[in-house]
Amino acid sequence: MSEQALLRVDDIRKRFGGLTALDGVSMQVEAGRVFGLIGPNGSGKTTLFNVITGFARPDHGQVVFDGERIDGLSPDKVARKGLCRTFQASLNPQRMTVMENMLLAPQNQVGETILNTILRIGRIREQEAEHLERAWEIMKLVKLDHQADTPAGSLSGGQKKLLMLGQALMLRPKLVLLDEPVAGVNPRLIDDIVEVIRKLQGQGQNFLIIEHNMQVVRQLCDTIHVLDAGKVLASGPTAETLQREEVLNAYLARQAREDA
Amino acid sequence: MIDYLVYLLTIVGIWGILSLSLNLQYGLTGLVNLGHIAFFMLGAYISTILVMVVGTGYVVGFVGGMAAAALFGALIALPTAHLQQDYWAISTLAAAEIARLIFKNETIGGTYQGGPYGFSGIPQPLKDVLGPEMYGWFYLGLTLVLAAAAYLVLQWLLNMPFGRALKAMREGDDVPLALGKNVRSLRIRAMALGGGVAGLAGALYAHFNAFIDPTYFLPLETFLVWAMVILGGAGNYLGALLGALIVQLIYNSTRFLTGVVPLDADTLGSLRMIAIGVLIILVIHYLPRGLVPERPRRYAGTARNKQAEGGQHVRTSPSQG
């Protein structure tokens, strides 16, 4: 290992009853590149995300993030280590406004402790002002700055994805895991989302992205890991890996089965 | 008539505090707490026991009652934190009944005290000095001051990051977890805080009514508090207070209506529950967010200000240090 991996997954196995969702997955995500995680439906991508972020406990194997083992930690602890995820479906509190959602995200908010709201009110005001400023910046970036007071439930599907991305950024995470950032989003907004992610990438933000839209994968990802039936089928530079025969077969075979 | 109004307003104030605390737990945090009356009962019993049996002062009684209720809130949140919402709701109902049956079966401080006898002749602060009439006014004042204090404290917390984190849990744990919030701890704190506030209402009630027994704290009472929160508007503290006013007015209306309506008191007594039920159905149907809906804080202005300030070079820029 020449360079220290930001995220390393070692021989992860996860079963749900009789179904083996992950069957010994090992992969690495290094800093400074955008990684893609692709694979046919049911290949275990989201389960792997769940295992990495503490939403599911692996039966076997380990997850090392930034030099520290994080498997078995609760999701909130994983997030506090600087590893933030989004969800495939928007789960954001619908009755909270866009800005409330954004301000929810930052870590170490002094005002989340009851006693501090009296004892350290000055610090809370300072923090709120800082977070507000940062939230406006990020909202401008993800094109939600005109929707600050809109309830999250009233946003379009694509805007909800942008909100999740924006929230994740509020955390200043070392790595963001995006679960299908453009699925179900209208084409114009897809371009916006791609542009936002590329801009962030340029600023040094690390990403690991699950995506089915191959055009977006080609545009965004430097390196991809291909998952099939709970195993890593192939890894490598995006364009090259997508051409590999076993990858084509995995997709085509699945396609053929679905078509039949 | 005036005496009765003073009585009624005191009751509204006490139940208003109870309704505020359920609004914190349900309206903001989304906790379907079906055992809310247990906090009220603990506040009432512990304050009574401390003042009457142990012989402490009223302040110690009130604070003790609140602390016991807060502790109970934290305790029922601890083992149940992992349950799904519906199971959690049933467990709170059960916990409240368990607590009530303990008080029903434990005689405390004397042969005909506690247990099924309840407590009679609960001491009332300053009653000897003030006389019965002045005492009513005094207690109304005390209740309203404490209700206002509870409102201000809870509203304050709602506007803090703490309130925001509670609201985030209302629609599921996944997002707050993914954002690094310790939802278990937040839930426990919401239960303890709401419990403490409801305990205050209980202590107030015990020393106001001068008599309590286990039949005062049946599950039905919890549903009255729920009616208040849902009518008023879950998520809005003013709504919770309005709901308490409306439900108590209907609940106590029999005394006014017996002379006016050609129905006997028993029928009227049952009709008032029907009236509350019908009102809830109407509100849920036509005003699903309640009479006073939740109002999220507006932030649009904070951007405009910033731009305006920026134009006038008020905002500290890096070059200005």
d(CA A60, CA B301): 51
Residue B114 per-residue DSSP state: B
Q: Does A104 touch chain B (CB under 8 A)?
A: yes
Q: Where are the domains of chain A?
A: 1-82+173-186+204-238, 93-168
* Reported pTM: 0.90
Q: What class has domain A1-82+173-186+204-238? A: alpha beta
Q: Does B296 touch chain A (CB under 8 A)?
A: yes
- A97 to B189: CB separation less than 8 angstroms, yes or no: no
Q: Considering only residues 148 to 177 of chain B, which have any Cβ-Cβ distance to chain A shorter than 8 Å?
A: 156-157, 160-162, 164-165, 167-168, 170-172, 174-177
> Chain A closest CA to B160's CA: distance in Å?
6
CB nearest B167 (choices: A79, A87, A96)? A96
CA angle B67, B68, B72 (to 5 degrees): 115
> pLDDT value at position B199?
98
Q: Does B185 touch chain A (CB under 8 A)?
A: no
All residues of chain A having their beta carbon less than 8 Å from the beta carbon of residue B196 are none
- A76 to B172: CB separation less than 8 angstroms, yes or no: no
- B178 to A85: CB separation less than 8 angstroms, yes or no: yes
Which of A76, A83, A115, A123 best probes binding to B when mutated, by most B CB atoms within 10 angstroms?
A76
User: Counting one residue from A and one from B, how many pairs have CB atoms under 8 Å apart?
Assistant: 114
d(CA A52, CA A28): 12
More confident residue, A36 or B260: A36
Q: Which residues are registered as beta bridge partners of A209?
A: A36, A178
Q: Using the CB atoms, write b or e for A66-99: b if 16+ within 10 Å.
A: beeebbebbbbebbbbbbbbbbbebbbbbbbbbb
- A79 to B180: CB separation less than 8 angstroms, yes or no: yes
B314 — pLDDT class (breaks 50, 70, 90) = very low
d(CA A14, CA A20): 6
Residue B320 per-residue DSSP state: G
Please write the tens of the pLDDT for every residue from B259-301: 777 877 788 888 888 889 999 999 999 999 999 999 989 998 8
CA angle B108, B113, B116 (to 5 degrees): 95
Average pLDDT estimate for A92-113: 94
d(CA A127, CA A144): 22
Cβ partners under 8 Å of residue A174, min gap 6: A6, A31, A65, A66, A81, A82, A83, A206
CA angle B249, B253, B255 (to 5 degrees): 135
d(CA B140, CA B138): 5
Please write the tens of the pLDDT for every residue from A144-203: 999 999 999 999 988 999 999 999 999 989 999 999 999 888 888 899 899 999 999 999
Which of the residue ranges A4-18, A107-121, A193-207, B73-87 would you say has the lowest mean pLDDT? B73-87
> pLDDT value at position A260?
56
Q: Which amino acid is at B74?
A: A
d(CA B109, CA B291): 45
